[in-house]
């Protein structure tokens, strides 16, 4: 097996084509794939089929293989990364072979679309090429990423390649974290950060070039940036825009920007065998664990990559796999396996682990969200196990808000996933769904985020960029009109827009805060309600990952520790309480450890708080404190969240106060199981898993709801008044739409007159 693998490596080196071309590499690519396939022949017999719903794993076969594995290296990446210098690694990447051609096209054109397989070096190399070509002498080279993790990890890698300290010449910026300095010439950032920068400097004068990376992902912010950057290019002749895409749907990008050239980086991918489940899988979490074990015990070297939808599942898979491997190891029937989770909320030092070589060359098994679909390049993966599902934030018109929901992936997405197995050599992808499901139940490509989510933030931003009529904005795929109107309606409820859809004073203040509109509104209004100091902490704590530490095996102990902080009527105030106690204890880390609290999370919360406080100062919003008067705080929370209220109905059951949809207290809530169930609550967000759960809940008085949300609530909610308020709501919305239409007509007349 080892010999075979060596041969494959050599083959791979030989195949590195040195030619680049502007279009039409498809044929060459096909030929290459066919040649690669030839090399992979003869391996087909010894591969196990995917585990179905009731599939069993033959551990005996595994035991034999374990013998074989002893002393052999399972991580295919290690050899290459260890033995080659950084320079050699850089020169080995496919993009290096066509560097001159690529730079030529960029010199000749202001906008270029670049297409290349994941791992061809787009993200890490193109910024450096631009710098080396001198573009950084009159501005920074910026590169946007839809995901924070990618921005951070890539910046770190590039700083290593350039031999400088992260944050100096090479830096990154994500929300609430700016790791750049006066020397920074290459800056990685999330697309959201760049979008905010256009507010301050519409021409982006500090940049000579922007690489919009991962454009195929069509994140909300990337889609908005498309329209904005297109204008920047028109205004600034010295500005370069590069749009990269991992897939071949680049024509659309090219057309949007006016038929700009598309540059293809020749691929160097290996064929991937795709194995489908024979029967529908009932529990893909369990099936993934089984399949990973089967691969580990009976397949040759190479790392495993498992795709799950979110943190909870990832933790379950990680834990279960570790447990089973440990058990098998104690029986002496299994080699060690390094199981590594990755998701956006994972602390960054743990995230970095997935890029490190496994100790002793053990096989790695990375369990990931769709973050590893294209944003992260993981070398050495030869087996992909795909659940076929992902979590998407989707606007739910019935609830009038976004909710995170699990959906089947699109065909394009699962094909990207399987491609991850073919980077180092021929690979295998185990799909935990049937071929029928792939063909008939999956969409061809993912619906762009802009067409499926609430656009509250984006609408606010565009309004303050003086895009008055959103229906006229240059969108690649315009959001449905209904979506825009719904988003405008929710901003109107918060007082950010007036009846003609114009930005109010409150609205323009809200834009300044890099948080969701309701939270921004809560901060601004807390001056009036008398507790801006406390709300500042609450908003900061809501903007960082959960601070509760709940280690496996010590669940009860940590739950008990957590309960000590509970403010029985509010999860928001429980967060405030933790923060205040931490502060009273000198912001000490050992205090956190003692109480099962993530010190890092609190520290981050403190940083975010400081940043938000700066914005409050700039906006001249005074800090006022209510001391420990929890009722003042709860009223302030009600003022921001009244549109997300629920009413008690039966024992422990709530229904949404606006539309009667059932929703539940989450078992982790301070209000859960304490024998205290208030009549009315407001919640921070809704999570749809097995049920609709309200996340982060606070008990409120009904008259507060009536006070802050007169468009929804009147004090005595008899059936008739409910109908009345419903009618009023309809009337308000119609009125607003009519006023807006009138404004549009007026503008149209004006234009005609001109
Ligand atoms: O952007 P693209 O998918 O085309 O490739 P890339 O992210 O620039 O990755 C090129 C190479 O850089 C990969 O093969 C990895 O070996 C290496 N890399 C790394 O070691 N650590 C990272 N955080 C990112 C990339
Ligand atoms: Mg990339």
Tens digits of per-residue pLDDT, 615-634? 999 999 999 999 889 999 99
* Lowest mean per-residue pLDDT among 155-164, 272-281, 553-562, 666-675: 666-675
Calculate the average pLDDT of the chain: 84
Confidence class for position 496, pLDDT limits 50, 70, 90: very high
CB environment 210-221: b (16+ within 10 A), e (fewer): bbbbbbbbbbbb
CA 309 to chain centre: 11
pLDDT at 713 exceeding the cut of 90:
no
User: Taking the C-alpha atoms of 649, 635, 683 and 316 in order, what is their torsion angle to the nearest 10 degrees?
Assistant: -120
Phi, psi of 93 (to 5 degrees): -70, 145
- DSSP string across 634-653: HHHHHHHHTTSEEEE-STT-
Return d(Cα 377, Cα 416) in angstroms, integer.
Answer: 12
Ligand 1 atom with the shortest distance to the CA of 265 = 4
Q: Which residue has the higher pLDDT, 480 or 133?
A: 133
State yes or no: pLDDT of 594 exceeds 70.
yes
Q: What torsion, rounded to 10 degrees, do the Cα atoms 483, 488, 493, 499 define?
A: -140
Burial class (CB in 10 A: 0-12, 13-18, 19+), 100: exposed
Half-sphere exposure (Cβ direction) of 115: Cα atoms closer than 13 Å: 22
For tokens 């304490």, name the residue.
Answer: 674
Query: Does the pLDDT of residue 434 top 80, yes or no?
Result: yes
pLDDT at 198 over 80: yes
Count CB neighbours of 9 within 10 A: 14
β-pairing, 140-145 vs 111-115, is unpaired
Listing DSSP states for 227-251 in one string gives HHHHHHHHH-TT-EEEEEESSS-HH
Q: Can you tell me the distance from the alpha carbon of 120 to that of 17, in angstroms, rounded to the nearest whole number?
A: 12
Task: Check residue 717 and give its pLDDT.
Answer: 54
pLDDT at 223 over 60: yes
What does the pLDDT read at residue 675?
67
Q: Ligand 1 mean position to 153 CA, how many Å?
A: 10
Q: Which atom of ligand 1 is nearest to the CA of 355?
A: 21
Nearest CA to ligand 1 atom 25: 377
Q: CB–CB of 264/21 below 8 Å? A: yes
375 CA distance to ligand 2 centroid (A)? 5
Most distant CA atoms of the chain, gap in Å:
86
CB distance 154 to ligand 1 below 6 Å: yes
- Tell me which of 41-55, 564-578, 589-603, 709-723 is least confident: 41-55
Mutation to probe ligand 1, out of 102, 118, 119, 375 (largest number of atoms < 8 A from CB): 119
246 Cα: distance to centroid of ligand 2 (angstroms): 8
Calculate mean pLDDT across residues 586-591: 95
Tokens linked to 487: 């988003």
Surface-to-core class of residue 617, CB atoms within 10 Å of its CB (0-12 exposed, 13-18 middle, 19+ buried): exposed
ipTM, interface predicted TM-score of the complex: 0.98
Q: How confident is the model at residue 545 (pLDDT cuts 50, 70, 90)?
A: confident
pLDDT at 532: 95
Q: What is the mean pLDDT of residues 655-671?
A: 88
Q: Determine the atom of ligand 1 nearest the C-alpha atom of 156.
A: 23
Do residues 302 and 456 lie in contact, with contact meaning Cβ atoms separated by under 8 Å?
no
Q: What is the pLDDT of residue 506?
A: 95
Q: Which two tokens stand for residue 654?
A: 């709530």
* pLDDT tier for residue 42 given thresholds of 50, 70 and 90: very low
Say if ligand 1 is within 6 A of residue 157 CB: yes
Ligand 1 nearest atom to the CA of residue 153, by list position? 23
d(CA 15, CA 6): 14
| pLDDT above 70 for 560 | yes
Query: How high is the pLDDT of residue 7?
Result: 31
Tell whether ligand 1 has an atom less than 6 A from the beta carbon of residue 123.
yes
- Angle subtended at Cα 327 by Cα 321 and Cα 332, rounded to the nearest 5 degrees: 120
**Is the pLDDT score of 745 beyond 70?**
yes
**Ligand 1 within 6 A of 419 CB?**
no
93 lines ligand 1 (CB under 6 A): yes
Task: Give the Cα separation of 574 and 699 in Å (integer).
Answer: 12
Does the pLDDT at position 157 exceed 70?
yes
- Regarding the beta carbon of 118 and ligand 1, being less than 6 Å apart is answered yes
For residue 679, list its beta bridge partners: none
Any atom of ligand 1 within 6 Å of the Cβ of 301? no
Q: What distances in angstroms separate CA 689 from CA 312, 390, 397, 403, 548, one per listed residue?
A: 11, 12, 18, 10, 20
Whether the CB of 189 sits within 6 Å of ligand 1: no
pTM of the full structure: 0.81
Any long-range contacts for 650-657 (C-beta under 8 Å, 24+ apart)? 651/677, 652/677, 654/681, 654/694, 656/399, 657/705, 657/712, 657/713
Instruction: Give every strand in the sheet of 337-342, ordered side by side.
Output: 272-276, 427-431, 381-386, 303-307, 363-368, 337-342
Share of the chain above pLDDT 70, in %: 86
β-strand pairing of 401-408 with 389-396: antiparallel
């Amino acid at each position: 097996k080892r010999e075979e693998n060596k041969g494959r490596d050599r083959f791979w080196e030989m195949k590195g084509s040195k030619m680049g071309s502007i279009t039409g590499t498809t044929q060459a690519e096909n030929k290459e794939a066919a040649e690669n396939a030839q090399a992979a022949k003869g391996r087909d017999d010894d591969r196990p089929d995917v585990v179905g719903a009731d599939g069993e794993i033959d551990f005996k076969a595994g035991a034999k293989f374990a013998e074989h594995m002893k002393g052999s290296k399972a991580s295919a990446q290690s050899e290459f990364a260890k033995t080659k210098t950084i320079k050699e690694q850089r020169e080995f990447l496919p993009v290096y072979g066509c560097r001159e051609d690529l730079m030529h096209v960029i010199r000749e054109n202001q906008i270029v679309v670049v297409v290349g397989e994941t791992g061809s070096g787009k993200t890490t190399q193109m910024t450096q090429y631009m710098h080396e070509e001198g573009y950084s002498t009159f501005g920074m080279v910026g590169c946007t990423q839809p995901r924070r993790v990618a921005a951070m990890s890539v910046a770190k890698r590039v700083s290593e390649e350039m031999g400088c300290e992260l944050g100096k010449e090479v830096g990154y910026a994500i929300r609430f974290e700016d790791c750049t300095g006066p020397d920074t010439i290459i800056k990685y950032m999330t697309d959201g950060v760049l979008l905010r920068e256009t507010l301050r400097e519409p021409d982006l004068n500090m940049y000579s070039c922007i690489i919009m990376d991962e454009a195929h992902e069509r994140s909300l912010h990337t889609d908005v940036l498309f329209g904005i950057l297109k204008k920047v290019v028109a205004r600034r002749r010295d500005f370069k825009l590069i749009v990269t895409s991992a897939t071949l749907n680049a024509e659309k990008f090219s057309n949007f920007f006016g038929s700009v050239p598309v540059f293809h980086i020749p691929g160097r991918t290996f064929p991937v065998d795709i194995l489908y489940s024979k029967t529908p899988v009932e529990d893909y979490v369990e099936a993934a664990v089984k399949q990973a074990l089967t691969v580990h015990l009976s397949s040759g070297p190479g790392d495993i990559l498992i795709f799950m939808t979110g943190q909870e599942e990832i933790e379950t898979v990680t834990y279960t796999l570790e447990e089973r491997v440990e058990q098998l190891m104690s029986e002496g029937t299994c080699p060690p396996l390094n199981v590594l989770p990755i998701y956006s909320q994972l602390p960054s030092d743990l995230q970095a682990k997935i890029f490190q070589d496994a100790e002793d060359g053990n096989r790695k098994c990375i369990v990931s969200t769709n973050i590893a679909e294209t944003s992260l390049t993981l070398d050495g993966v030869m087996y992909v196990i795909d659940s076929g599902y992902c979590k998407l934030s989707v606007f739910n018109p019935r609830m009038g808000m976004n909710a995170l929901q699990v959906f089947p992936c699109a065909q394009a997405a699962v094909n990207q996933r399987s491609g991850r197995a073919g980077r180092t050599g021929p690979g295998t992808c185990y799909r935990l769904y049937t071929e029928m499901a792939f063909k008939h139940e999956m969409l061809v490509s993912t619906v762009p985020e802009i067409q499926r989510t609430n656009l509250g933030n984006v609408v606010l931003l565009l309004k303050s960029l003086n895009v008055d009529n959103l229906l006229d904005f240059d969108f690649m795929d315009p959001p449905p009109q209904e979506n825009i109107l719904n988003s405008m309606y929710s901003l109107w409820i918060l007082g950010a827009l007036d009846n003609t859809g114009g930005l109010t004073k409150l609205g323009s203040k809200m834009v300044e805060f890099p948080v969701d509109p309701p939270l921004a509104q809560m901060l601004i209004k807390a001056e009036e309600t008398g507790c801006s100091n406390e709300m500042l902490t609450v908003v900061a704590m809501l903007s960082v990952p959960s601070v509760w530490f709940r280690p496996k095996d010590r669940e009860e102990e940590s739950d008990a520790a957590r309960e000590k902080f509970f403010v029985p009527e509010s999860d928001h105030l429980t967060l405030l309480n933790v923060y205040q106690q931490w502060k009273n204890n000198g912001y000490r880390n050992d205090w956190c450890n003692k109480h099962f609290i993530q010190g890092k999370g609190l520290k981050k919360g403190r940083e975010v708080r400081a940043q938000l406080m700066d914005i409050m100062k700039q906006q001249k919003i005074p800090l006022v404190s209510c001391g420990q008067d929890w009722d003042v705080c709860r009223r302030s929370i009600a003022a921001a969240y009244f549109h997300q209220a629920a009413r008690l109905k039966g024992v422990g059951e709530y229904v949404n106060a606006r539309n009667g949809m059932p929703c539940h207290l989450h078992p982790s809530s301070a209000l859960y199981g304490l024998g205290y169930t208030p009549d009315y609550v407001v919640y921070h967000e809704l999570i749809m898993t097995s049920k609709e759960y309200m996340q982060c809940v606070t008990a409120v008085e009904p008259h507060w709801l009536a006070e802050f949300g007169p468009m929804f609530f009147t004090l005595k909610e008899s059936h008739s008044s409910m109908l009345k308020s419903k009618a009023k709501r309809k009337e308000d919305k119609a009125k607003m739409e009519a006023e807006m239409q009138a404004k549009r007509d007026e503008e149209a007349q004006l234009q005609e007159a001109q």
